[in-house]
Structure formats: structure tokens, C-alpha cells
């Protein structure tokens, strides 16, 4: 689980760097066209990148909140002493891990529709 958290941390850092880079490019484009640098497709792409990145930021918070119990139960299942006395707790943690991920999906999936109005419009 620690390697997964390390990969997630690196991903979040890169995500934030790319977000601020895109915002900087959009601000540069708004200042005015530059010869050999401006194109409508490029400007549209950077604006779209900023919109999608904001959407992922709004979606990431509920995912982290509702996935946190799953990490706790996975930690219990993996690192609890493998003794006969603790076997029931390890099995319970394993089942609660699966249950918490299922609940997280049921709660977060509708958030896609709530957080992005274009998804709702495309469903109509």
C-alpha cells in the first residue's frame, strides 16, 4: 500500500504542475496572439485542459474521503499479526475493504454528473 501511496503522491504533484502550466499558457494566450505561437486549436486545447483539470480536482476530494477507509482496512488486513486470535479481525477487515470500495463507487459515481454540467447536458 505504501508504494501505491507513493505513486499517487507523485501523480498528484505532476497533476498540479501540469494544471498551473496550463493556466499560465491560457493567461499567455489571453494577453494576445504571438507570431509563430498562436493557433485556435492550441488555445482551445489549453482552455479545455484547465476545465477538465478543475473537474478532476472537484472529483478527487470525495474519492479521497470515501476511499480512505478502504486503505485503513487494507492496512489491517495486510499488517495485522497472522495469529489464530486475530484471524477473524483480518477476515472482517478484508470484507470491510471490499464493502467500503463498493460504497465509495456508489457515492462518487453520481458526483461525475453533479460536478460536470456538460455530462448532465449530454445525458438529456
The total of other beta-carbon atoms located within 10 Å of residue 19's CB is 17
Question: In sequence order, what are the residues at sequence separation of 6 or more whose Cβ sits closer than 8 angstroms to the Cβ of residue 5?
Answer: 71
pTM: 0.60
The total of other beta-carbon atoms located within 10 Å of residue 61's CB is 12
pLDDT tens string 67-120: 888 888 888 888 888 888 889 999 999 999 999 989 888 888 887 777 777 777
Amino acid at each position: 500500500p505504501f508504494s501505491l501511496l507513493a505513486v499517487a503522491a507523485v501523480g498528484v504533484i505532476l497533476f498540479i504542475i501540469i494544471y498551473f502550466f496550463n493556466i499560465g499558457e491560457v493567461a499567455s494566450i489571453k494577453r494576445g496572439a504571438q507570431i509563430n505561437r498562436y493557433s485556435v486549436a492550441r488555445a482551445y486545447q489549453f482552455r479545455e485542459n484547465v476545465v477538465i483539470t478543475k473537474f478532476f480536482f472537484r472529483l478527487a476530494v470525495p474519492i479521497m474521503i470515501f476511499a480512505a477507509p478502504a486503505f485503513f482496512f487494507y492496512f489491517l488486513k495486510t499488517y495485522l499479526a497472522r495469529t489464530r486470535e486475530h484471524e477473524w479481525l483480518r477476515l472482517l477487515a478484508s470484507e470491510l475493504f471490499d464493502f467500503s470500495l463498493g460504497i465509495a463507487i456508489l457515492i462518487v459515481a453520481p458526483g461525475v454528473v453533479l460536478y460536470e454540467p456538460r455530462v448532465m447536458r449530454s445525458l438529456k
